[in-house]
Chain A
C-alpha cells in the first residue's frame, strides 16, 4: 500500500500545468480559470439576500486561451438559492452523457484531471465550501466546464450530449460511476441537465475497440516488414515481436487471450512468409491501419518498428528506410517520430550503428538539395551536442558523441 501511495504522491507532485508550451496545456489552465470565474464564491455569496429564485444553470459558449484564441468550451454557470435545508459543505460535479441513440451512455475524457476518480468517464468538480439555507448566487457564477475536444464518445460523428450538473454534499459524497448516480443517495442535493450537440472527429471508443485487435495484427505485420528489410529475421528481432504480442495479450484471459494470441501469431507467420516471397506490401498495410486505427495505435506501431530496428543493436539502413516509409504513410507527427527515433538511436551500440549511414539515421532523403542537407545536419548536430551535455558518462553519452562524429563525417561530404 505504501508503494502505491508513494507513486500517487509523486505523480501529483509532478503535475503543474504549463500555460506556455502547448495548446493543450493552455487549454487546460484556461479552463480552470474559467470554471472559477472572476470573483470568489464568498464574494458573490456575501451579496446574497432572501427572495432569490431557485437555483438554475445555463451554458455560456466561450473560447479557451487568454485572448480567447483557443478551442471552444462550454462554461456552466449557476444563479439562485442553494437548495439546502441546513448548513452544508457543497461542490458542483459535472458529468457528460451521450444520448445520441436515445439511451444515455458514458462519455470519457482524454485528460485525467477531467475524469472520475475511479474511471475515465468525464467529470469536473468545483468545490464551493460551506453554504447555508437562504444563501445563493445573485449573479451568474461559473461552476463547471465542458470542453468538447476532450470528450471521447462511443462512436464518432454528430453527437447529442447532456451535461449533468450536480450539487453534492461533500461530507456525504454520492457515488457517481460512469456519469450515473443512485437516485436515493442523500448526498445528492440538486441536479440539472443541459443539452448540447457537437461533432466528434476522432474515432469513438466502441469503434476503436472494434478494430483494435485487427489494427494490432497489422502492427505485427508492419513490424515484420521492418525485421525482414535486410532479407532475414534475426532471433533478437523475432523476440522483440514475440514480446510485443505477449504484452498486448497480457491484459486478457481465457478465450479472448487465446483468440488474440492466434490472431497475432498468424499475422506474424503470414507476414514472414509474404516478406520472404516479396509479397508483403507496406502501402496496403499502412493504408488499412490508417483506416481502422486510432492515433495511439499508429504510434504503438512506429515504436514497435523502432524496437525491431534496435533489437540487434544495428541501425540498418534498409530498416530505417522502411520505418521512414511507414511513418510517412501513417501521417504521424514528424517531431514525435524524431523523438522516438532518437531515444532508440541513443541506446544503440555505436560501433555497429556506424554500419548505417547517418543520412539514413537522420531521415535525409536522396533528393534533398545540398543546402537543405547541410542545414538539417547543423540542426541535428546542435541537438546531439545538447544531449551530450545532458547525459551522464557512459554508454548513452558515448553514443551521443558518436552521433556528433557521424554527423561531422557526413557533413564533410557536402562541403
Chain B
C-alpha cells in the first residue's frame, strides 16, 4: 500500500484520498466512516480541541465554543475566538490537518508524502499560511497543487478513455470559487488560464438563505429573528434541500416560513453572475472562444445547486461533467498528484503503471513584480510603478530576468520589493508587497548601474528572487514561501484528540 495522500483542505469540508493497490484514486474514510470531514474545530469542556462532525454541530448550536469557515481568512490577521482564546486560521487549519492525517494513518499506516490543495487565487500569504499549518501538523508536504488543476487531473485520469481538447474546470466550494481553462491530452494536463474569487461559495449562499428567512420572518411577524433561531447549519441544510425540491417549509421561532427555489436563486444570483464574469474573463485570458471548449468539469459541493448548473451551461454552452462526487474530486486529484510527484520506488509496479502517463503543467495564477521608478508619460513626471516580471499564466517552472538601473550618482542602496497581484496592475497602491529587503551598493559610482532582477518560480509555486548588482556581483536573494513560513504559534496541538 502506498502512503501518498492528497488532502483537500476545504472551507466547509475536507477530504483525504490516496491511490489503492490497483492504482485507482480512492477517498479515505474518516473515523466516523465518512468521506468528508467538516472543517470545524471546537473545544470541549476538558479543553480538548476536536475536529469534525461534532464540532460542526457544536458550531451550529454554540458558535462561541467552535470555529468554522476560517479558510477564507488564511494569511490575514483575522482571528477566530473559541471560548476565550483567539486562534489564527493557520492554527485552526493545523488542527484539521492533524485530524485528517491521523484518521488516514489508521487505514494506511505511516504517511510518506502529502500533497495539500489550495485555491488557484490564494495569495502568497494564504499559501504560506497553508504550508505553515501543514508543517505544524507534522506533515511532510513536498508539493502543493491548485484545486482546479487537481480536479482536472482526476477527471482526465478516471475517464478511462483518452480525453483530448480544452476543458473548463468550474470549482465552486464552500468558500472560494476557481475556474481554470485546461488543455487535456490523455492524462496530460496543462493549465492555460486560471482565476478565482476568494470569497464566493456555499458560505455566502448560506448567508443569503439566512437573510431570506430573516426578511420573511420580519414581514410575517414584524419582529427580528435571533441568531440562534435559525443557525448557519440549518440554513445550509435548507439550501441543500432546495437543490432537489422546488420549495421548503422551515419552522422558525414557532412560525412556518416557505422558501421557494426561485426566491433563493434570486438571493444568490449576484454571486452566480460574478462567477459567470470570471469564467468569461478566464476564457479571454486563455485566448480561446467558448466554442473551443470540449467539456466542463465540476468540483465543489455548491455545483449541485440547479442555478449553478444552469449558469455553467449558459456560460460554456455545454452540459458539465459531474458523474463523480464533486466534494471529493479535488482530494482524488491531489492523491494522483502525490503519487506522480513522489518517490516512484515506493509505489508498486501496478501503481506505477497506472500513473505513468500523468503529466501536469501548472501555470502561475498571479503576477509578480517589483517596485521601480518609471516616467509617468501622462503627467511628465517620474513616479513609482509596479514592474511585472512574472506574468499571470506563465508556465511553471519559469525564470525571468529583467535589468533595472540605478538612478542617482552615488546611489548606495536599492530597496528591493516583491509584489503580487492577480491582474497586470502597474499602480503600486493596488498590489500586495509580499517581501521587501535591500541591496547595498558601493559608494561613489555614477548612475545607471545595472541591477539584474530575477524571479524564478518552481513547480511547487515557491519563488526565488534575486537582486544582483552586475558590476560587484553583490546580491540580495529570498526564497519565498518556505523562507517566510513562520511558526504559527500553534497552541499545544498535542492536546488535540481524535473524536
Contact = CB atoms under 8 A, between A and B. Distances in A.
Summarize B's interface: helix, strand, loop or mixed: mixed
A347 to B, nearest CB: 11
A304 to B, nearest CB: 15
Nearest to A410: B273
B421 A113 contact: no
A401 B274 CA distance: 11
A20 B411 contact: no
Between A21, A35, A111, the greatest number of chain B beta carbons within 10 A of the residue's beta carbon is seen for A21
Nearest to A336: B378
B277 A127 contact: no
Contacts of B310: none
A377 B284 CA distance: 13
B421 A25 contact: no
Interface string B238-281: 00000000000000000000000000000001110110111011
B413 interface: yes
B110 interface: no
B270 A385 contact: no
Given A126-B446, A386-B422, A378 B199 contact: no
Nearest to A335: B378
Interface size class of A (residues with CB under 8 A): 35 or more
A284 B284 CA distance: 42
B394 to A, nearest CB: 15
Interface stretch (B98-106, B146-154, B321-329, B399-407): B399-407
A16 B446 contact: no
B483 interface: no
B121 A339 contact: no
13 contacts: A16-B407, A19-B402, A24-B375, A113-B447, A378-B284, A381-B277, A385-B197, A385-B423, A386-B423, A389-B422, A392-B77, A393-B76, A408-B273
B76 A23 contact: no
Interface stretch (A5-13, A74-82, A313-321): A5-13
Interface string A302-329: 0000000000000000000000000000
B430 A390 contact: yes
A199 B422 CA distance: 43
A190 interface: no
A17 B121 contact: no
Nearest to A294: B380
Between A31, A35, A408, the greatest number of chain B beta carbons within 10 A of the residue's beta carbon is seen for A408
Given A388-B199, A401-B199, 11 more contacts: A16-B370, A17-B372, A17-B404, A21-B385, A127-B445, A379-B281, A385-B197, A386-B422, A386-B425, A389-B121, A389-B421
Contacts of A27: 375
A344 interface: no
A202 B381 CA distance: 14
B375 A10 contact: no
Interface of B: 76-78, 121, 123, 195, 197-199, 269-271, 273-274, 276-278, 280-281, 284, 370-382, 384-385, 387, 402-409, 411-415, 420-423, 425-427, 429-432, 438, 444-448, 451, 453
Nearest to A333: B378
A408 B372 contact: no
A18 B404 contact: yes
Interface string A374-415: 100111011101111110110000000100110111011000
A36 B446 contact: yes
Summarize A's interface: helix, strand, loop or mixed: helix
Nearest to B384: A14
B372 A113 contact: no
Contacts of B409: 125, 127
Between A16, A32, A110, the greatest number of chain B beta carbons within 10 A of the residue's beta carbon is seen for A16
Interface in A353-393: 374, 377-379, 381-383, 385-390, 392-393
Contact of A16 (B375, B404, B425): B404
B270 A408 contact: yes
A12 B413 CA distance: 7
Contacts of A202: 380
Contact of B277 (A14, A24, A25, A378): A378
Interface in A16-63: 16-25, 27-29, 31-33, 35-36
A15 B411 contact: yes
Interface in A102-129: 110-113, 125-127
Contacts of A31: 448
A110 B404 contact: no
Between B77, B372, B375, B431, the greatest number of chain A beta carbons within 10 A of the residue's beta carbon is seen for B375
B274 A21 contact: no
A14 B407 CA distance: 10
Contacts of B198: 388-389
A16 B452 CA distance: 11
B373 A378 contact: no
A138 interface: no
B372 A343 contact: no
Interface string A121-149: 00001110000000000000000000000
A13 B437 CA distance: 10
A299 interface: yes
A296 interface: yes
Given A14-B384, A27-B375, A377 B77 contact: no
B402 A393 contact: no
Contact of B278 (A10, A15, A385): A385
Contact of A25 (B284, B374, B378, B427): B374
B207 to A, nearest CB: 13
B373 A16 contact: yes
Between B281, B379, B403, B438, the greatest number of chain A beta carbons within 10 A of the residue's beta carbon is seen for B379
Contact of B405 (A19, A295, A339, A393): A19
B270 A24 contact: no
Nearest to B270: A408
A343 B422 contact: no
B447 A390 contact: no
B123 A389 contact: yes
A412 B270 contact: yes
A343 B425 CA distance: 14
Contacts of A388: 198-199
